[in-house]
Amino acid sequence: MSGSHAAHSGKSEPAATAQGKPSEAVMGTYARQDVVFARGEGSWLYTTSGDKYLDFGSGVAVNALGHAHPRLVAALTEQAQKLWHTSNLYRVEGQEALAGQLTELTFAERIFFCNSGAEACEGAIKVARRYQYVSGHPERWRIITFRGAFHGRTLATLAAGGNDKYLEGFGPEADGFDHVTFGDHEGLETAIGPETAAIMVEPIQGEGGIRSIPKQCLIGLRELCDKHGLLLVFDEVQTGVGRTGKLFAHEWAGITPDVMAIAKGLGGGFPVGAVLATAEAAKGMTPGTHGSTFGGNPLAMSVAREVIAIVSEPEFLDAVQARALRLKQGLARLKDLYPDLVEDLRGEGLLTGLKLKARVQPAQVVKAATAEKLLLVGAGDNTVRVMPPLNVTDADLAEGVERLSRALAHVSKSLS
Ligand SMILES: *Cc1c(COP(=O)(O)O)cnc(C)c1O
């Protein structure tokens, strides 16, 4: 049917598009690599032309349990046969179940479900402003954020991130965000004013180049917020759901936020995000204050419930930490082998990065890795991200390090 339709309309057949030149019909907002995947299994992706790639990008920290995990496939297909969507005009069983899991496992007492990281950050911003509003401080609506941060691509989250490159050409920057230089403690204190509602921060900057906030500083942020009556908002869209070896990265510092945005790994590849909050922080979120047509859709809930059930097991997180240690040892060896290219190792758990020397660009390393059939992801601050699925096998981990070694050897040779 689709073939004859294509013939009638005079357009090329879908199969030809997948193998041939990239279609211009897809808006050109991405600098995509010219490879098309047809299928995935575990840490591996298979192209339409039969090649096999080791996926150490995990769809930008999304495929937490690799590709086609049997338990996730079962959860999704089982739900698909029962019910897809009812809207939020009615109670949704999966939302109540997943909210129950998340409140059991975290600081949170109230959860709002959405579909992406940017939406989760927007929701977190709204929760923070609304909290101050209903607490008798309508004047407190500004949010302090950090340079190099990434909170998404909506107009408010772009303003929160404050990256000029992403803001250019999209009209006046949304007001309400005060940017502080990463690590500038004094600047942070002086940025707090009578209009400040909250501080929003990634415990480890992901897109910004795997830049970790030291434990002591996270504790300091908590104290600062308490002192000034501000909400502490963590953006754990990338660091959450086991990526750092704890269910959430802030657990390493032994403190909790008031509000947290999560997404990426939560659905293991199915689009879903969430805003987590204490009951106090969420007290302003009454009927009509926020909403999303698709948010908390039964399909998304069924997969996310299974992801959380698997990842939150203590044995699973212990295993992530053990794998992380092996990966770190492998990357440390590469740093020793290629001191001309690698300046530093960064990250926590399986959210790791190679900070590169100024003479080499992340794109060069990503390209050389792709040639070795290893997928990596570039990041800011001249960093390449190495983020295998959380359940990567030891053999695949070792294979990935070997492929990365060959890629670095190639880049090193091309520069000398
Ligand atoms: C990816 C990311 C976002 C945006 O998520 P989308 O799903 O792309 O909207 C926000 N914050 C952080 C920390 C991220 O890594």
Q: Which domains does the chain have, with CATH numbers?
A: 71-311 (3.40.640.10), 315-416 (3.90.1150.10)
- Is the pLDDT score of 2 beyond 50? no
Query: DSSP H helical segments within 252-387, as ranges?
Result: 298-311, 314-337, 362-371
- pLDDT band of 29, cuts 50, 70, 90: very high
Per-residue model confidence (pLDDT) at position 252: 98
**Residue 25 CB neighbour total at 10 angstroms:** 7
CA of 416 to the centre of ligand 1 (A): 37
Ligand 1 pocket member 235 (CB < 6 A): yes
Token digits of residue 173: 């920057």
**What's residue 20's pLDDT?**
81
The answer to whether residue 240 scores a pLDDT higher than 90 is yes
Q: How far is the CA of 229 from the centre of ligand 1 (A)?
A: 27
Any atom of ligand 1 within 6 Å of the Cβ of 206: yes
| Atom 15, ligand 1: residue with shortest CA distance | 238
β pairing state of 377-379 and 383-386: antiparallel
Please identify, by atom number, the ligand 1 atom nearest to the C-alpha of residue 118: 9
- CB of 249 sitting under 6 A from ligand 1: no
- In this prediction, residues 111-116 reach a mean pLDDT of 98
What is the predicted pLDDT for the residue at 260? 99
pLDDT at 321: 98
CB of 237 within 6 A of ligand 1: the answer is: yes
Predicted confidence (pLDDT) at residue 9 exceeds the cutoff of 90: no
Q: Does the C-beta of 118 come closer than 6 Å to ligand 1? A: yes
Q: Which residue owns the Cα nearest ligand 1 atom 5? A: 117
**Computed over its alpha carbons, how large is the radius of gyration of the chain?**
22
Amino acid making up residue 154:
T
pLDDT at 10 over 70: no
